[in-house]
A = this chain, B = another copy of it.
Amino acid sequence: MLETIEWTPQGVVMIDQTLLPSKTVFVTCADYLEVANAIKTMIIRGAPAIGVAAAMGVAIGVQKSPDPDADFDNICATLAATRPTAVNLFWGIERMKDLYHSLNGKTPDEKREALIAEAIRVKDEDVAICREIGRHGAGLVPDNKTVLTHCNAGALATAGYGTALGVIRAAWESGKKIDVFADETRPFLQGARLTAWELMQDGIPTTLITDNMAGHFLKSGRIGCVVVGADRIAANGDVANKIGTYSVAVLAKENNVPFYVAAPISTLDLTLTDGSQIPIEERASGEVTSVFGVPVAPDGVNVCNPAFDVTPNRYVTGIITERGVATAPYTESLKALSYSAAHPAKA
């Protein structure tokens, strides 16, 4: 598997996720503005990967700044203004802020070195977290059935291995005979372009469907469970994730299919009592009216393009984190996980 994001001497290197799978192009962001732009234009996407990119963006901003103390707030604010929904962005920035402020009195070079090390640590931890999510989730995946997933919560949405796809990978690696149905996930086609591509590379049997087919197959009985990622989870367990997740969750519940959300603890936003407070990004209409530059709708048509929706907690069977699986009532279970040991001993 190719690296989603890497710290290199030349800058922050990312695989360009807008061009996959037909073109494998790596982008080198030489300063924090280029990192901010890469997040905004979805060269890198996926909540945990955005968290890593934000941390690396802060690090490269400080690295390249002649006067970090003067520039720090602006670097952080610029990165924070890229995308509103995934809380991991703000989590990554906050983590770097906390470290930076703890370095008061150090030289600029000491600060630069510490921030770069921290950004690399954020990335390395993310891979380990995904492995733990997989370990906790694998047992929930029914054997000899199909797993349905929406969007891409895979290696490309994280620093590696994936959250939802981490659960699928761990179930597959444990020997379960599963296959995957991947919603194509219009308008950005993360399912068609990224999830199908990732899983094919791993040799996990994968079938691509359009988003509006998910209900039909959930009704058919072949889907054993749904596993998706998350961009922000409120204190009560309401889940913001890629547009269409809410529909899949309702259709899963209607057909008695378990619906799991796989996400790191950094996706929790316990400052929000429920999902209605999560800001939903509205993206450009061109994502809907054209596909790879080819128009698919009449000129001048009015478009709505909310990039996320909110799934109320009553549709969520469980939230799989690196610290264990939360179930209803979520206000209690998520709080307990949030305050539990950050790095529990492996079972």
Task: Produce 1/0 per residue, A230-268, CB < 8 A to B.
Answer: 000000000000011011001100100000000000000
Instruction: Give the distance in Å from the alpha carbon of A208 to the alpha carbon of B181 in the complex.
Output: 26
A21: interface (CB < 8 Å): yes
A181 CB to closest chain B CB (Å) equals 8
A189: interface (CB < 8 Å): yes
A200 CB to closest chain B CB (Å) equals 6
Stretch at the interface among A2-10, A31-39, A77-85, A214-222: A214-222
With A216-B309, A219-B246, A247-B215 known to touch, is A297 a contact of B196 (CB < 8 Å)? yes
Structural contact, A22 and B309, CB atoms closer than 8 A: no
Which B residue sits closest to A308, measured CB to CB? B216
Structural contact, B304 and A217, CB atoms closer than 8 A: yes
A342: interface (CB < 8 Å): no
A184: interface (CB < 8 Å): yes
Tell me which residues across on chain B come within 8 A of A243, comparing CB atoms: 210, 212-213, 216
Identify whether the interface residues of A are mostly helix, strand, loop, or mixed: mixed
Taking each of A181, A187, A215, A292, which has the highest tally of chain B beta carbons within 10 Å of its own beta carbon?
Answer: A215
State which residues 159-185 of A face B: CB under 8 Å. 181, 183-185
A residues with a Cβ closer than 8 A to B are 21-22, 150, 181, 183-187, 189, 192-193, 196-197, 200, 205-217, 219, 243-244, 246-247, 250-251, 254, 288-289, 291-298, 300-306, 309
Nearest first, the 10 A-B pairs at minimum CB distance are A212-B244, A215-B247, A186-B210, A211-B212, A216-B309, A192-B297, A291-B291, A207-B302, A21-B298, A197-B298
